[in-house]
Structure 1
Amino acid sequence: MSRSGRNPDKRVRTARKRSASSTRWLERQLNDPYVKQAKAEGYRSRAAYKLIELDERFSLIRGAKRVVDLGIAPGGWSQVVRKLAPGAAVVGIDLLPTDPIDGVSILQMDFMDDAAPAALEAELDGTPDLVLSDMAANTVGHKQTDHLRTMALVEAAAWFAIENLQSGGAFVAKVLAGGTDSDLLDMLKQNFASVKHAKPPASRKGSSEWYVVAQKFKGRG
């Protein structure tokens, strides 16, 4: 037994059971300034700062009146929206359970469910002017498959935005390295006056994630 009262042998055994990748992840979390800042400021995840940094660059949130958060769990992005646009109506959806957030309606269902778009619109009680998507498919370890699965979610989110946004609205979605697929990029450019890719500083350097930011929706007329 050590002076601190902890058993060093038990600590070593626990570490040995942990995989190398898990150990690296834990060390990265413990040393990550964004993780520490999120805890200090009450955000549920470091991902909150990705949206904050995107907003600082593109002015997405302030002035928004109705916001949809696709893939809301654990809720960091909706927390940011509530802080920067406290008067906005916010609805989020995720297959995973999400703890309640004051002022946010949360649907626990699959966004790919045919009933999801109507359920979101009903909860929002109007047409959104901002659609956010931090969704990513569960990885299977095969790079091409993981890319295709995630881009399928991005495409579904983009179609939801195009079919539901108010004129002048904006759409933000996580994509992977290489950016948005050419067909989807063409579709966004046809429907939005501005389409750009960005990697906020809060995205880890080794991460393959980028974000597509589409603004000034042209409308469906």
Structure 2
Amino acid sequence: MGKTSKDKRDVYYRLAKEEGWRARSAFKLMHIDDAFKIFSGVKRVVDLCAAPGSWSQVLSRKLYDTCETDEEKANVKIIAVDLQAMAPIRGVIQLQGDITKESTAEAIIEHFGEGVEQKAQLVVCDGAPDVTGVHEMDEYMQHQLLVSALSIATFVLEPGGSFVAKIFKGNDTTLLDSQMRTFFKHFEYYKPLSSRPSSIEHFVVCRDFFLPPGYIPQVINPARNDIADQARKTGSATNRRLVPFIAHGDLTGVVDGDEPLVDCTNPSKEDIAYAYDAIMNDKEYPQEFKDLLNDIFVEELANAKS
């Protein structure tokens, strides 16, 4: 099927054709870089859900083609990951993999090499599910994809690194804000000029990556119904507390021993107040985790039954 007349009228669609970009989305990444300078000093990048390759093209032209010597080019590592194969791009290593599987994270790390100094400085993801037109459903599916991309980033990002990913932004972003701030000191939404005004598409721009103390990176697939069990298998108390929250915003993952602190299906004000006090007074919880949960507890307390 050919492009619609709406596409043909779009200035960025026409520019993409003229300048040799595989999709108009190339301009979105360039506009994000214009606003946040995410490419500054970056040599190692992972492009998740990369096909058809427009973002990898941008990375190639901005990071690889600008190198003046072969030695400089050898220091640039751009890894594009997708289930689909795509045509080669200069300076880009392609991996066919599923971002909901740990083997994909391991394959990326293998290409970068061992040691923190060899991890990615930037992870980007422009992936999206098939859009239904039902905003609530599209937001939910996109959020699941975002969490999967985020979990890959926890494996491959170096401390202080950046993460950029597409999100369909609804009216309530409290949960998403808290999920991102679990791993990044700075987080904001951005809608590039090249994103159509009628679209609910935005991008999360997350900077200054850190792992909460005691957290062991693991691939989080929100579609699974055994998230809590998977978190326990790491042997990390931090994972047991954080992973259900990262996957679903589920405060039942915040436990005291083996018992949930909050019955999220029907919490009382007393339940939430007890959970809040228990977390804030527990030295095992990272301060970042306490800070991000504070707003959630306040909101839940306001909405809870007496």
Q: TM-score, normalised by structure 2?
A: 0.60
Q: Partner of 2:165 in structure 1? A: 173
Partner of 1:64: 42
- In the alignment, the residues of structure 2 paired with residue 189 and residue 178 of structure 1 have an alpha-carbon distance, to the nearest angstrom, of 18
Letter of the structure 1 residue corresponding to residue 93 of structure 2: S
* Aligned match for 2:101, one of 113, 122, 138: 113
SS at match of 1:158: helix
Structure with higher Rg: it is: 2
SS in structure 1 at match of 2:84: coil
Matched with 1:186 is 178
Given that 1:70 and 1:93 are in contact with CA atoms closer than 8 Å, whether structure 2 keeps it comes out as yes
Matches within 5 A, 1:72-221: 72-86=50-64, 87=73, 88-125=76-113, 126-178=118-170, 181-219=173-211
Structure 1 counterpart of 2:141, which letter?
A: R
SS state of the match for residue 160, structure 1?
helix
- For 1:179 and 1:92, how far apart are their aligned partners in 2? 32
Identity of aligned residues (%): 33
Shift of 1:55: 0.1
Structure 1 SS opposite 2:16: helix
Contact kept in structure 2, 1:71 and 1:135, CA below 8 Å: yes
**Higher relative CO (CA 8 A, sep ≥ 6), structure 1 or 2?**
1
Q: CA–CA distance in 2 between the matches of 1:179 and 1:199?
A: 15
User: 1:42 and 2:15 equivalent?
Assistant: no
CA distance in 1, matches of 2:209, 2:102: 24
Give the C-alpha shift of residue 179 in structure 1: 7.4
Deviations 1:78-130 (A, max 9, x none): 11111111142100111222111111111122222331111122223331010
> Number of paired residues?
199
TM-score (norm 1): 0.82
Distance in structure 1 (CA, Å) of the matches to 2:210 and 2:10? 40
Q: Which one-letter code corresponds to 1:130 in the other structure?
A: L
Q: Deviations over 1:39-75 (max 9, x none)?
A: 2211111100000000000000132111000010111
Amino acid at match of 2:79: V
Is the Cα contact below 8 Å between 2:186 and 2:207 reproduced in 1? yes
> Are the equivalent residues in 2 in contact too, given 1:163–1:220 (CA < 8 A)?
no
Secondary structure class of the residue paired with 1:204: coil
Structure 2, gaps ≥5 residues long: 65-72, 214-306
| Paired letter, 1:210 | H
Residue aligned with 1:96, SS? coil
Residues 171 and 74 of structure 1: CA distance in aligned 2, closer, same or farther (over 3 Å): same
**Residue deviations 1:12-62 (CA, integer Å, cap 9, x gap):** xxxxxx8xxx8xx61012111111111221111110000000000000013
Larger CA deviation: 134-143 vs 115-124: 134-143
Q: Secondary structure at the match of 2:175?
A: helix
Q: 2:33 aligns with which of 26, 42, 55?
A: 55
| Cα displacement (A) at 1:148 | 1.5
How far, CA to CA, are the matches of 1:49 and 1:191 in structure 2? 27
CA distance in 1, matches of 2:172, 2:187: 10
Cα distance between partner residues in 2 of 1:37 and 1:111: 31
